[in-house]
Structure 1
């Protein structure tokens, strides 16, 4: 079962049929719906050159005989630069709307996206689900919750991104993409009028967010205006959660972000379980992380098997030495703790998971 099968399964019954075949690289065409940046092709090409192409592209056949790339455009460009003549592809029979949903899901699951890319994905998904409802398709739940499920975030976070996209000035959006302001700060600033936002932008343009975080927040709070309209009050009550809830959401997103980033920076990840009941090591073949921090992994072995782990933290720890039955003691050097007695061991920097960007 491929990694993207799990993504496809989240689209309620849209997949009719799929099969895998080698396709002439000149018959593959990027999707016109792919608005995501095509970045770091050279690095990916080096990884493919060293380790090979580990994941099939996902495509669908068009009426003109070409194959539209739903997932894997970066791999396509990297492989083409290396002189590949054919590529292994999973060919799916799905509608235009469902193909675009899968494209957005795949990019969210496999890559580190900028806030602007997430906001564009939200706009596209909103238009898609509106069209689906207009076509008479029965969808369970609110549109923003369906979007949140596709993007691996909460419905409230979808609302935050939408407000930022609608109300934040371009200069501050650029700062958000460059990580010069945080998502929480961007959301707060989006409540100000355009002139106030310009004042803030001028004040913070030379400040380092990591060094001057409190100064920036003070500036933001100092210029905020009282909210009078009931509609605005309702929106802010919903968007500005209690601090402890907001802090928990930020912490959860930080854990997921750090974990995904590590999986892209290091190769050969292995799950280590060491407690009073179980001691074992599992090679992680494929993975996904849900919004409630459940890590689902496909482990390598004689037969495909799966584990689901609750992630409580993602902290680098000093090496541990544990004895695995029928084997030698292991002393991993690149080690992260996920929960009590549960760790992820990475072999070394740069490797296979770069292909998932």
Structure 2
């Protein structure tokens, strides 16, 4: 390499040539000193893939260090690597290679989400709470608008766009996932196990929690519901009080392929005149069906 007179030659280190400048060094940390990240949204499941990871660790050790942050008194909090930590425990390891990094709560949240969100086969509930945690952390980091940070102070739409761009999704899709966090846990589980369609679940998330629990019971007994049914239910909720019996009637009458019935349906208020006050809608329905069955048998 030719140089000009007086020119200093800058010698690059091996680390610079390999692109690992200032790379943090991993060190072995006892597993009992590491606690899980608070409200970690990603599930650690003892499935076939976990068993494969356990066997790999038994043979090769933990090849990729986990990321932790110090919590004081020689203890640490896991940021990234919950599955590796769990597998290491199952494999009988007492320590695990870890990178220790000083992180604030919001920095730790963002790092935890970014490290896990690209995993394959994430459940909708995992992405929902991960995106929400990251959005809340980013908004807290932005702080109140001032002349200095006004450009960084972003709202929900802008933050969702940033999160989506980082993960190959539209900001609108990120917002849809975050809406799932407004579902009652039972319905969210239905989304995870594909008993409830994603877009229908997003529509349900705008409905009152008590009605959501009624919907859970309805789906459990009747199966899949469609977007049209939820649209009609949401419209009815805006026009007056909703009861479980009224909800069931709306959903039944709007089932795809069902021929609309005549309007001679007896209202729940009218039915209440014939039943004790402590009878639920299900109790009344049971009695009515039993009486109808007796009437039918009497005609035969």
TM over 0.5, yes or no? yes
Deviations 1:194-242 (A, max 9, x none): 5664554444324565xxxxx63453355452898xxxxxxxxxxxxxx
Q: Is 1:225 paired with 2:235?
A: yes
Q: What residue is the counterpart of 1:68 in the other structure? A: 77
Q: Is 1:57 paired with 2:66?
A: yes
Q: CA deviation at 1:21?
A: 2.4
Q: CA deviation at 1:183?
A: 1.0
Q: Is 1:180 paired with 2:195?
A: yes
Are the structure 2 counterparts of residues 221 and 62 from structure 1 closer, same or farther at C-alpha, using a change threshold of 3 Å? closer
Select 1:30's aligned residue among 15, 28, 35.
35
Q: CA deviation at 1:76?
A: 1.2
Q: CA deviation at 1:119?
A: 2.7
Q: CA deviation at 1:180?
A: 0.8
C-alpha distance in 2, partners of 1:48/1:91?
21
C-alpha distance in 1, partners of 2:35/2:213?
38
Q: What residue is the counterpart of 1:163 in the other structure? A: 179
Are the structure 2 counterparts of residues 169 and 93 from structure 1 closer, same or farther at C-alpha, using a change threshold of 3 Å? closer
Q: CA deviation at 1:191?
A: 4.1
Tell me, yes or no, if the aligned pair for 2:160 and 2:174 is still in contact at 8 Å: yes
Tell me, yes or no, if the aligned pair for 2:128 and 2:179 is still in contact at 8 Å: no
Q: What residue is the counterpart of 1:259 in the other structure? A: none
Q: Is 1:139 paired with 2:152?
A: yes
Higher relative CO (CA 8 A, sep ≥ 6), structure 1 or 2? 1
Map 1:198-217; keep pairs closer than 5 Å: 200-206=215-221, 216-217=226-227
Q: What residue is the counterpart of 2:46 in the other structure? A: 40
Q: CA deviation at 1:85?
A: 3.6
When normalised by structure 2's length, the TM-score is 0.56
C-alpha distance in 1, partners of 2:152/2:77?
26
C-alpha distance in 2, partners of 1:145/1:17?
31
Tell me, yes or no, if the aligned pair for 1:18 and 1:90 is still in contact at 8 Å: no
Structure number having the greater helix percentage: 2
RMSD: 3.5
Tell me, yes or no, if the aligned pair for 1:21 and 1:89 is still in contact at 8 Å: yes
Are the structure 2 counterparts of residues 200 and 47 from structure 1 closer, same or farther at C-alpha, using a change threshold of 3 Å? same
Q: CA deviation at 1:79?
A: 0.9
C-alpha distance in 2, partners of 1:68/1:220?
42
Range 170-179 or range 191-200, more displaced: 191-200
The runs of 5 or more residues in structure 1 that have no matched partner are 1-15, 210-214, 229-357
Q: How many residues align?
A: 208
SS state of the match for residue 118, structure 1?
Answer: helix
Q: What residue is the counterpart of 1:19 in the other structure? A: 24
Tell me, yes or no, if the aligned pair for 2:143 and 2:153 is still in contact at 8 Å: no
Deviations 1:50-78 (A, max 9, x none): 55433221223444333432111221121
Are the structure 2 counterparts of residues 81 and 171 from structure 1 closer, same or farther at C-alpha, using a change threshold of 3 Å? closer
C-alpha distance in 2, partners of 1:185/1:147?
23
Q: What residue is the counterpart of 1:321 in the other structure? A: none
C-alpha distance in 2, partners of 1:193/1:24?
47
C-alpha distance in 1, partners of 2:196/2:186?
11
Q: What residue is the counterpart of 1:314 in the other structure? A: none
SS state of the match for residue 226, structure 2?
Answer: helix
The runs of 5 or more residues in structure 2 that have no matched partner are 1-20, 239-300
Q: CA deviation at 1:181?
A: 0.8
Are the structure 2 counterparts of residues 86 and 199 from structure 1 closer, same or farther at C-alpha, using a change threshold of 3 Å? closer
C-alpha distance in 2, partners of 1:191/1:221?
11
Tell me, yes or no, if the aligned pair for 1:30 and 1:68 is still in contact at 8 Å: yes
SS state of the match for residue 203, structure 2?
Answer: helix
Structure number having the greater strand percentage: 1
SS state of the match for residue 235, structure 2?
Answer: coil
Q: CA deviation at 1:98?
A: 1.2
